[in-house]
Chains A and B, each alone.
Chain A
Amino acid sequence: MESSILSSILFATIVAGTPLIIVALGQLIAEKSGVLNLGAEGMMSMGAIAGFAVTFETGNVWLGVLAGMAAGALMSWLFAVVVLTLMGNQVATGLALSIFGVGLSAFIGKPYEAEILPTVGAIRIPLLADIPIIGNPLFNQQILVYFSWALFGAIVWFLYRSRPGLVLRAVGESPSSAHSIGYPSIRIRYMATLFGGAMAGIGGAFLSVFYTPLWVEGMVSGRGWIAIALVVFATWRPFRVMVGAYLFGGVMVAQLFVQGSGLEVNIPSQFLSALPYLATIIVLVIISRDQNTVRLNAPVSLGQPYRPDA
């Protein structure tokens, strides 16, 4: 395989993995606080249309990303009110949020369906980008790719090196214990949920503003769900989220592999498109086979409603 092909496959893999990293890391934080938000697909869809619409109307990419973030956060706030304040069922509410978000984004996005945004230029890091093969994929990327790495670093530091991160994890393990020693469990869960929503919104905006860059109904096409699966697959550890996201990114650009291999293969495109979903199932099977790993790593209170007695 030629090195330029290898380089472009690597490039595409990193780009495809980036929204998954951002969304999954956001969900990781929410889940670490004990909140399971299955609405990622809806929040991403809203982030995607908000990002696209604002970028299109203002011509400013940054306002677009901010709008995507705000839309995702707003959606997760809705979820948080139902789940944390009104103690609704987290699974059902997350599902409702997905249905609502996908529908609402399709509704809002109708007028934008035929529009295309100008491609956003990559940011090239001098010298590093000149390294053969890996230089271009790693150091000549969209700014949100760099952002996803920074986010990873920040989250690792936050969770394992900072006091608020410790408190967050404590709330996820046992909200009543955290509450009894004076931490506002509900408020912490609110913030974690909002953070997850904001990240899902950015992930969605990345798709519509940087990746495609256009808006099509249903364009998130399951990435929100894959991101949720990724958190399980990573057994709630940030580094594994990164690895998993790039693995999935690789599966998503499988078509490039096939073209790059130079083989005369005649596989219907639908089969290649189905690969990420099948891979998600396989990965989930592998990780759930050993229940102890999942049980030891999952936040104990994940998905359970909590309400302080006082």
Chain B
Amino acid sequence: MLRLERRPEASQLMSYASPAIAIALMLIGGLLLFTFLGKNPIEGFKVFFINPISDLWGVSELLLKATPLMLVAVGLAVGFRANVWNIGAEGQLVAGGVAASAVALYFQESEGAHVLILMVIAGCIGGMLWAAIPAFLKTRFNTNEILVSLMLVYVAQLMVSWLVHGPMMDPDGFNFPQSAMFEDSALLPLLFDDGSRVNLAFVFAIGALLAGYIFMFRSFGGFQMQVAGYAKDAARYAGFSAKRMIWIGLLSGGAMAGLAGMSEVSGPMGQITEHVSSNYGFAAIIVAFVARLNPVGIFFASLLMALLYLGGEQAQQYMNLPSSISNVFQGMLLLFLLGSDVFINYRLRWKEGS
């Protein structure tokens, strides 16, 4: 019978091939899903994966959607490398969006670049503060950061709901739960003047990926976190501070998620509503894993994940399917990836009897 056998050493090849296998399996799963729903699978595939990027506008939308994913994923990857499980990026993103919006609304009458600069700072700090709660509780009381950061997602969503129903509500907005539209000085400048919505945040994202790369592979701190991720005891023996890693891991995730929140309210949204995030905080976790916690990989995985978002919108529009089909694809992708990762350390062998 077929058995799994441990490889003498981990397969470098498989650690890169595994995401490709997972993507292939996800596509097959998608074809089956379309068939099962009584839709033509080829048609579904085309609507989902080809149509969204068949023109320049589509590609620009892809970059727009991928931007927050890149930001959040690279921030999370820093922590994930040291097994610091920040699952609450969604909440940190909302907190950053709220903080940035507060600045935008405070400076409504104000012109000049300082508004945007302050919004960026506020966004990062907002996200960091939200992430500092699990970091503090983890380092001080050893409280599980997964559960705490996750609970704070719900708290953040309730907070923004309260704010847009109360203090931040547009006074002239006919009681809609949303803020006033931001002034131009509080909006991120567009990168191209061809009508596309790609804005300065994309540059932030590329910068964050570069910074993440340098930290992870070219700095001692990044090396320490890598060691801690592979062998906790070795890191402790070498005297690397576990608490410091927890703080770095969570704060980097929080800062980037907060910046992503800022770039949403200050970019495509132009105001704050109850729906600051479209699940970017959770999708970015998948991005980080599919990318093997590598910034180069995160760039491409974010594009793929963004395509799943756009595909979901298309499927809703043209195939009358709920847009939550995106989440189904995203979840499938991660499950397949985690499953096919077994072949990094194991191989299939045919064994007689036993």
Which positions in A face B, CB cutoff 8 Å? 38, 42, 78, 81-82, 86-89, 91-93, 95-97, 99-104, 106-107, 110, 217, 221-222, 225-226, 228-229, 232, 268, 270-271, 273-274, 277-278, 280-281, 284-285, 288-289, 291, 294, 307
Contacts and interface: CB of A to CB of B under 8 A. Distances in A.
Nearest to B162: A270
Given A78-B335, A86-B339, A103-B326, A285 B159 contact: no
Interface in B145-167: 146-148, 150-152, 154-155, 158-159, 161-162, 165-166
B151 A86 contact: no
Given A88-B338, A96-B331, A274 B143 contact: no
B334 A92 contact: yes
A100 B151 CA distance: 19
Contacts of A88: 338-339, 341-342
Contact of B151 (A99, A270, A277, A307): A277
B198 to A, nearest CB: 27
Contacts of B282: 99
A277 to B, nearest CB: 4
Nearest to B282: A99
Contacts of B146: 38, 91
Contacts of A232: 144, 147
B190 interface: no
B141 A285 contact: yes
B324 A278 contact: no
Interface in B281-304: 282, 285-286, 289
A195 to B, nearest CB: 21
A229 B147 contact: yes
Contact of B330 (A99, A228, A271, A280): A99
Main SS at interface, chain A: helix
A284 B148 contact: yes
A291 B142 CA distance: 8
B332 interface: yes
B21 to A, nearest CB: 12
Contacts of B165: 268, 270
B327 interface: yes
Contact of A225 (B147, B322, B345): B147
Interface residues of B, number: 46
Contacts of B141: 285, 288-289
B158 A274 contact: yes
B151 A225 contact: yes
A284 B341 CA distance: 32
A107 B342 contact: no
Given A86-B338, A99-B327, 5 more contacts: A78-B335, A270-B158, A281-B143, A284-B148, A285-B137
A297 to B, nearest CB: 14
Contacts of A106: 322, 324, 327
A100 B331 contact: yes
A309 to B, nearest CB: 9
A107 B137 contact: no
Interface in B191-246: none
B87 A107 contact: no
A255 to B, nearest CB: 13
B85 interface: yes
A222 B147 CA distance: 10
Contact of A107 (B144, B148, B159, B327): B327
B338 A103 contact: no
Contacts of A96: 286, 331, 334-335, 338
Contacts of B338: 82, 86, 88-89, 92-93, 96
A97 B335 contact: yes
A42 to B, nearest CB: 8
B154 A277 contact: yes
Contacts of B158: 270-271, 273-274
A92 B282 CA distance: 12
A298 B289 CA distance: 28
A278 B158 CA distance: 12
A9 to B, nearest CB: 22
B151 A217 contact: no
A107 B315 CA distance: 12
A241 to B, nearest CB: 16
Query: Which A-B residue pairs are the 7 nearest by beta carbons?
Result: A103-B327, A100-B331, A106-B324, A96-B334, A270-B162, A88-B338, A86-B342
A95 B338 CA distance: 11
Given A100-B332, A106-B327, A285-B141, A277 B339 contact: no
B8 to A, nearest CB: 15
Contact of B324 (A91, A217, A288): A217
A143 B159 CA distance: 36
Contacts of A229: 144, 147, 151
A95 B154 contact: no
A96 B147 CA distance: 15
B248 interface: no
Contacts of B330: 99-100, 103
